[in-house]
Amino acid sequence: MLNSNLLLCAVFVPTIGAFAIPFIGRFSGIARNAAAFILVFVPLAASALLAPAVLSGRPVTLSYTLPLGCDFTLTADALAVFMAIVSSFISFVIVLYSFGYIRKYSHLSEYYTMVVFFIGSMMGLVYSANLIFIYLFWEMTAIASWRLIGFFREKTFVLKADKAFLITVFGALLMLLGFILIYTETGSFDLSIIKSRLGPGALSNTVVLLILFGILSKSATLPFHTWLPDAGVAPSPVTALLHAAVLVKIGVYVYARLFVATFSIGAIWHTVVPALAAISALVSAGAALVETDIKRIIAYSTVSQIAFIFLGLAVGGEIGLAGALLYILMHGLAKGGLFLCAGIVEHGTHTKDITKMGGLFGVMPMTAVSFLFCAFSVMGVPPFGGFFSKYMVISGALSNNTWIAMTFLVGAFLTILYLFRLFNMVFMGEEGTQSAREGSRIMVFSVAILGALSLVAGICIQYPASFVETAVKQMLGF
């Protein structure tokens, strides 16, 4: 009983509470920030409290029967709780950072409302075990992301926000069609009911294709990746939140939830998806090598790293899956950190063009070190966290298809190249044309946490690994 209440809290406290923020914001800015802080802390705490029960093999489920097969079902299994903890923790750090970053702009109430609403919708998506509610929360995250990308309200920025919204909605509508196909076959949107009615056979390829449209567009994988670099016009904490750490993981998570944990899909997809991912990884890594806008480079890097996660999930097998889940954690921490550092750099130098920067190490040493730590993790340098996940994903792929694994090795190499290039141009070398200064204390503190955690997560790899192991076992039904 307590656990199911925790589950409801994790989802509904932020989604509903978000709409109190504008009213609180009318009276006091501090109260508003405090409210945002609490509303983001609740899902983190609730998810963490769910972990012990779930890890001991007792998934928490609650369900209300509704007409037309739209039963409202929330399920917390190890996969869901893992995803929830990762995303709410990173969001939590990002909200802390926002207190420093966003302070001077107007429309703060809208900012915090949308951030909290986003996190609540994310929790809803993660815990939903019903296709229609997955879709519902999926689009709620899209609404929040639309408002947040256009936050600065320049004409071109809003245009880019609209672009992101339209591409993801296009994908989501095709995915909805896929869900409807499943519904006409089975008469329900509830995952467990569908599973029992569908039997052990594979999903039809049409359905998988339609759902993949949604997943690839949300996770910004080729050919639907173009909105992600453009979305860099958003405030930096938003890019970190939406486009690196949390939102782009939605597609990956739904892939894991539907195609790995619930249904089986045709053998062909175990080749097609890794191949798509491989192309995506190489193309975006190449783009990251030539871009000069700091946020676009990191955004392309996200596109490329997401491909590694897809690879891990698609090749299947325990090692690949575990690697993919760990990748979600490691990439979230590190990439969130990189974007937040980029925000500090951007604030300090008033530009996003890396050719105008240089020698910032002396001015902002803490940021530079945190940036380096996060970059090491993304590159996969041992003993940083990213090493383990990258290693597991590629070794999982090796047993499946050598060529694809080789391609991804090239992708990993390119990652090292473009991140070093970025680090050199921003932090090393001669002083740039701009006069710069370090970020505010809370901002530096936030990036330091993420940088440190990228290292700690690698050194203490056994804790996340054992969590992930349980999740993989539950997904594969052992």
Does 174 participate in binding other proteins (rule CB under 8 A)? yes
Does 62 participate in binding other proteins (rule CB under 8 A)? no
Cβ–Cβ < 8 Å for 374, 450: yes
Piece of the chain touching other proteins by CB under 8 A; list 176-184, 307-315, 345-353, 428-436:
176-184
| CB-count exposure of residue 434 (10 Å: 0-12, 13-18, 19+) | middle
Q: What x-and-dash track marks residues 73-102 binding other proteins by CB under 8 A? A: ------------------------------
Least separation in angstroms between residue 125's CB and other proteins is 12
Q: Is 317 left (phi over 0), alpha (psi -120 to 50) or beta?
A: left
Does 209 participate in binding other proteins (rule CB under 8 A)? no
Does 27 participate in binding other proteins (rule CB under 8 A)? no
The Cα–Cα gap between 29 and 106 comes to 11
Q: Which of 81, 86, 129, 132 binds other proteins (CB under 8 A)?
A: 132
Q: Which of 77, 139, 230, 346 binds other proteins (CB under 8 A)?
A: 139
Report helix angle 294-315 to 402-427, nearest 10: 160
Report helix angle 2-17 to 108-127, nearest 10: 150
**Coil, strand or helix: which one is 402?**
helix
Identify residue 181 by its one-letter amino acid code. L
Three-point CA angle 192, 56, 318, nearest 5°: 70
Does 55 participate in binding other proteins (rule CB under 8 A)? no
Q: Which of 181, 275, 372, 456 binds other proteins (CB under 8 A)?
A: 181
Residue 51 or 173: the one with the smaller Cβ distance to other proteins is: 173
Least separation in angstroms between residue 254's CB and other proteins is 15
Under rule CB under 8 A, which residues in 143-162 are in contact with other proteins? 143, 150, 153-155, 158-159, 162
Number of residues binding to other proteins, judged by CB under 8 A: 32
Half-sphere exposure of 87 (CA within 13 A, CB side): 33
The Cα–Cα gap between 191 and 210 comes to 17
Does 183 participate in binding other proteins (rule CB under 8 A)? yes
| Contacting residues toward other proteins, per CB under 8 A | 66-68, 70, 106-107, 132, 135-136, 139-140, 142-143, 150, 153-155, 158-159, 162, 165-166, 169-170, 173-174, 176-177, 180-181, 183-184
